[in-house]
Copies of this chain bind each other. A is one copy, B any other.
């Protein structure tokens, strides 16, 4: 018969340890949490008893008492499967998980499968009732959040993968505009003078803005624009359209690796060579970009640093909420045709 869980009154409690060590229950707590000085010899006995009994403090009780569960949550606000379908998102969860673990926090993960804002708030309240110490929200372009409404739940939160929100609040994002500018500059530098844009981005979106402005600086028209889904299939469709054009652009800038993978696939299908016929440059720098064929030149987002910053913000909230921008880095591979 297998013992079923630490529950059911079977498990070792602080009382058992106290008895075995011949001290009061309080001393066990002191020894373990350093709430008060304990004689070295006493501590020794307590620790021995803890080890012998295999005692682990009941975290539910600790949480009830202290108000903190030493737990964070990660909430994906995107379409249901984005979190495992978009490698950069998967990397984000993992990085947050690691950052949390390093600081002694456990991590809940959840997603709101297309439920919109109401669903997000519901999930946030669920985590609040689970007494989490903070929530990392992975932004989606579709879902507009209201900082005030978020604050009202009473759980510290930070929004990642986002631009600065006019509503304020704590948020973290990569330097999209800067990265796209560098990428576009790289393309022009290497002699491409007709550059298309692939992605699901509104006119004002930083990457799209950078595309337009850098084109303007070089006196060429920013065109064509492929406004497609932020998925592999979206990228593939853009490629098919492109291949059908009478005078296709000589290069394309794609908003994300996930979409770019679809572009690559679509171009292959049509027999369009990369980079000989069309050069491709992309954004994210996920591992996927490294093993694509040809290797995808991409603007790398510093996921680890951003994840760590997000966790730190939750654990020690800054005086004032703000948006934090992280620098990006162009990783040159084969798809842009400029590889050494």
Contact = CB atoms under 8 A, between A and B. Distances in A.
A60 interface: yes
A107 interface: yes
A30 interface: no
Interface string A58-102: 111101101111000000000011011101001101100110010
A59 B131 contact: yes
Q: In the complex, which of the residues A9, A68, A109 has the most CB atoms of chain B within 10 Å of its own CB atom?
A: A109
A110 B107 contact: yes
Size category of the A interface is: 35 or more
A84 B85 contact: no
B110 A109 contact: no
> Assembly of this chain: how many copies?
2
Contacts of A5: 67, 128, 131, 133, 154-156
Interface in A240-271: 261-262, 264-265, 268-269
B69 A60 contact: yes
Contacts of A151: 2-3
Contacts of A130: 59-60, 106
Interface string A1-24: 011111111110000000000000
A234 B164 CA distance: 41
A182 B322 CA distance: 56
A291 B5 CA distance: 43
B11 A154 contact: yes
Given A93-B84, A131-B7, A156-B5, A108 B108 contact: yes
Given A111-B97, A154-B11, A262 B287 contact: no
Contact of A67 (B7, B110, B232, B292): B7
Contact of A268 (B8, B287, B293): B293
Contact of A87 (B58, B68, B84, B126): B84
Interface of A: 2-11, 54, 56-61, 63-64, 66-69, 80-81, 83-85, 87, 90-91, 93-94, 97-98, 101, 106-111, 113, 125-126, 128-131, 133, 151-152, 154-156, 232, 236, 261-262, 264-265, 268-269, 287-288, 290-294, 317, 321
12 contacts: A5-B131, A5-B154, A7-B68, A7-B131, A56-B128, A58-B64, A60-B60, A60-B61, A97-B111, A108-B108, A232-B290, A236-B291
